[in-house]
Amino acid sequence: MTTYMDHPDELGHFGDFGGRFVPEALMPACLELEEAFRDAWADPLFLDEYHHILKEFGGRPTPVTYCERLSSELGIELYLKREDLAHTGSHKINNVIGQALLTKRMGKKRIIAETGAGQHGVASATAAAKLGLECTVYMGELDTQRQALNVFRMELLGASVHPVTSGSRTLKDAVNEAMREWVSCVETTHYCLGSVMGPHPFPWMVREFQSILGREAAQQLVDRGVGTPDMVVACVGGGSNAAGLFSGFANSSARLIGVEAAGGSAIGIGSPGVLHGMRSMLIQSDVGQIEEAHSISAGLDYPGIGPEHAYLAASQRAEYFSAGDDEVLDALQRLSRSEGIIPALETAHALAWVFREVGGQIRRGDTVLVNLSGRGDKDVAQVLDILGARA
């Protein structure tokens, strides 16, 4: 039987995907990082410190919440893994604490990061402040305008925010700019990538840092007598929260479901390509130019997907669907009213799919675990604008 979500091959391949497609100048840094991560991840002292900080500072473990009212309305058993209750309001903290510790272990004093909506930027700035590192965040100029409050949050935390004016001035361009910057400061600076994407070892390493949420969730369901759910569901942009969740269930009988934004569905409408250091599924033109993704949620506004997801899709271990902006807005409101939890717009994609598919992909009576990957506070102003304009 095939084992899923274990190790990539020695060059970082997950089947046909992954690898390391970076300029020669960055190769030594990628190799150094891989070695440092392998070493740290096998070091009990590193693991102790990582888990200690996530517990004492990060608020882990996060609970699993049973949705009583929605379960009854939908005729399923619906559970949420509450990453919205982690520090900084999403699963992003799991990754940045790991990478910030690794930065110090490598003797580097500074991190750079890309961000779209600002969640990973805020988390990176937080980890940098906690561990005494300098931090510069690259953010598309359009996103700095759309998410001005998050820019201020990062600055409050002592980070500097660098608006990116190239290309479409969004997340994809922020990654380009962070990589360009990394070339010039690679000896002193670690690139704290925010998702399960980029060159090896990032997709594997970030998944490992996020696997804590999947392991916790699996154990929590066992502890409360639920056992293995029929289905685990997560939203997917780059795919870090989904990778973390899936890794807890990859070798169980649970169906693994990733939900992309309809306008950023790299599995649904993309084709194989090479971008940002990885071979994966990408949304691109008929001559191989990368296209812009479009989504109501800035966090899913990315034309690619992590290479392990591309592999899980190709091997049919996980299934990927998409949700559109309107049903996402409905799902956000429905969870808020029925369960008292305002989810992030990203997270609402996973919920929208569940609400839509009861009686379709989901049988009545099924047990469904959704990763509540982030809280919606950051999105309420945008949601108010949209709903207000419709009223």
The pair of structure tokens assigned to 84 is 């919205």
**Minimal distance in Å, beta carbon 95 to other proteins?**
22
Nearer residue to other proteins within complex by CB, 42 or 287: 287
DSSP string, 171-230: HHHHHHHHHHHHHHHTTTEEE---SS-SSTTHHHHHHHHHHHHHHHHHHHHHHTT--S-S
Closest CB to other proteins among residues 275, 345: 275
Identity of the residue numbered 291: E
Q: Is 91 a catalytic residue?
A: yes
Q: How far is the CB of 221 from other proteins (least distance, A)?
A: 40
Q: Which residues contact other proteins by CB under 8 A? A: 11, 19-29, 166-167, 172-173, 176, 179-180, 183-187, 271-277, 279, 282, 284, 287-291
Count the Cβ atoms, other than its own, within 10 Å of residue 359: 11
Cβ at position 26, least distance to other proteins in Å: 8
Q: From the candidates 67, 135, 192, 235, which is the catalytic residue?
A: 67
| 15: region left, alpha or beta (phi > 0 left; psi from -120 to 50 alpha) | left
Q: How far is the CB of 169 from other proteins (least distance, A)?
A: 12
3-class DSSP state for residue 334?
helix
Shortest approach of other proteins to residue 151 CB, angstroms?
Answer: 22
Catalytic residue among 13, 30, 51, 91: 91
Of 185 and 380, nearer to other proteins (C-beta) is: 185
**Nearest to other proteins of 16, 326 (CB atom):** 16
* Closest of 183, 251, 190 to residue 218, by C-alpha: 251
Q: Is 82 exposed, middle or buried (0-12, 13-18, 19+ CB in 10 A)?
A: buried
In the complex, the smallest distance separating the C-beta of residue 46 from other proteins, rounded to whole angstroms, is 25
Q: What are phi and psi of 281, to 5 degrees?
A: -90, 130
- Bridge partners (DSSP) listed for residue 311: none
Nearest Cα to Cα of residue 204 among 111, 119, 99: 99
Task: Supply the minimum distance, in Å, between the C-beta of residue 20 and other proteins.
Answer: 6
- CB nearer to other proteins: pick between 21 and 57: 21
Say how far residue 353 (Cα) sits from the centre of its chain.
18
> By C-beta, is 98 or 201 nearer to other proteins?
201
What sections of the chain are H helices per DSSP? 27-41, 44-56, 68-74, 92-105, 119-131, 141-146, 148-156, 171-185, 202-223, 240-247, 266-269, 307-314, 325-339, 345-357, 380-390
Q: Which residues pair with 279 in a beta bridge?
A: 18, 274
**Which residue lies nearer to other proteins by CB, 129 or 274?**
274
Q: Which residues are catalytic?
A: 67, 91
